[in-house]
Chain A
Amino acid sequence: NAGVTQTPKFQVLKTGQSMTLQCAQDMNHNSMYWYRQDPGMGLRLIYYSASEGTTDKGEVPNGYNVSRLNKREFSLRLESAAPSQTSVYFCASVWGLAENTEAFFGQGTRLTVV
């Protein structure tokens, strides 16, 4: 049981390049999230998907797009990378509400834009 798997673990991009961060969960969770983590700022929500087929903007969506490909997979795309997008990106999934509302996190993707 792998939980939440993110790929790649590390990436270096040049300014203006594009890339897609992949996230997959095998827990049959309904909701999935993408966060970025920057020193002193905690985790900030980029986009989330409450259920398959829906996506919503979070706190810092500019410069990103997402796709909820199916219930398992939720990808994050940077169309034209900028140095300000240098960060550690985490994907998380949640089964639902109430007692099953714990979030499970991937190991993170460390992205550097030069």
Chain B
Amino acid sequence: AQSVTQLDSQVPVFEEAPVELRCNYSSSVSVYLFWYVQYPNQGLQLLLKYLSGSTLVKGINGFEAEFNKSQTSFHLRKPSVHISDTAEYFCAVRGYSGSARQLTFGSGTQLTVLP
């Protein structure tokens, strides 16, 4: 079984400030890691993913995330946020094999960018 914990349900931040959204996971097998974004009344779209290799991955809209295996974390960062980044962000994991191939999501973090 695998699980994902997003440590903050709400993150308010002022425009042009940096932001970090935290994600920790647990799994008995190796996993792929993802961040998805959901804008109001829409489905989810992929921001970035970690499959293997370099632990720092870059995604769309200036976001990046760092995989830390020892801390089982995959935190999302952006150095300077815009009003348009206001959305809900979901961390997710998917195992390599068996039932762990389920795509498991965290509970989400609502990012609100204030003017």
- What is the interface of chain A, defined by CB distance below 8 A to chain B? 4, 31, 33, 35, 40-45, 48, 50, 56, 58, 90, 92, 94, 97-99, 101-103, 105-108
A56 to B102, CA, bound (A): 10
A5 to B15, CA, bound (A): 35
Smallest beta-carbon distance A28→chain B, Å: 18
The answer to whether B99 touches A56 (Cβ under 8 A) is yes
The answer to whether A97 touches B43 (Cβ under 8 A) is no
Q: Annotate B2-39 by CB proximity to A: 1 below 8 A, 0 otherwise.
A: 00101001000000000000000000000010101000
- What 13 new A-B contacts, CB under 8 Å, besides A40-B9, A94-B103, A103-B36? A42-B4, A42-B106, A42-B107, A44-B105, A45-B104, A50-B101, A92-B44, A92-B103, A102-B34, A103-B92, A103-B103, A105-B43, A106-B43
Which residues does chain B contribute within 8 Å of A56, judged by CB atoms? 99
- What is the interface of chain B, defined by CB distance below 8 A to chain A? 4, 6, 9, 32, 34, 36, 41-46, 49, 51, 90, 92, 94, 96, 99, 101-108
Given the interface pairs A42-B107, A43-B105, A45-B104, the reply to whether A102 lies near B46 with Cβ below 8 Å is yes
Number of A-B residue pairs with CB-CB distance less than 8 Å in the complex they form:
59
Nearest-CB residue, chain B, relative to A101 = B32
Given the interface pairs A42-B90, A103-B46, the reply to whether A97 lies near B101 with Cβ below 8 Å is yes
Choose among B41, B43, B99, B107 the residue that contacts A90 (Cβ–Cβ < 8 A).
Answer: B43
Which residues does chain A contribute within 8 Å of B104, judged by CB atoms? 45
SS of B interface (majority): strand
Smallest beta-carbon distance B81→chain A, Å: 22
Choose among A97, A101, A107 the residue that contacts B42 (Cβ–Cβ < 8 A).
Answer: A107
The answer to whether B102 touches A43 (Cβ under 8 A) is no
Which residues does chain B contribute within 8 Å of A50, judged by CB atoms? 101
The answer to whether B42 touches A42 (Cβ under 8 A) is no
The answer to whether B101 touches A31 (Cβ under 8 A) is yes
17 contacting pairs across A/B (C-beta < 8 A): A42-B106, A43-B44, A44-B105, A45-B102, A50-B101, A56-B99, A58-B102, A92-B44, A92-B103, A99-B51, A101-B94, A102-B46, A105-B43, A105-B45, A106-B43, A107-B43, A108-B41
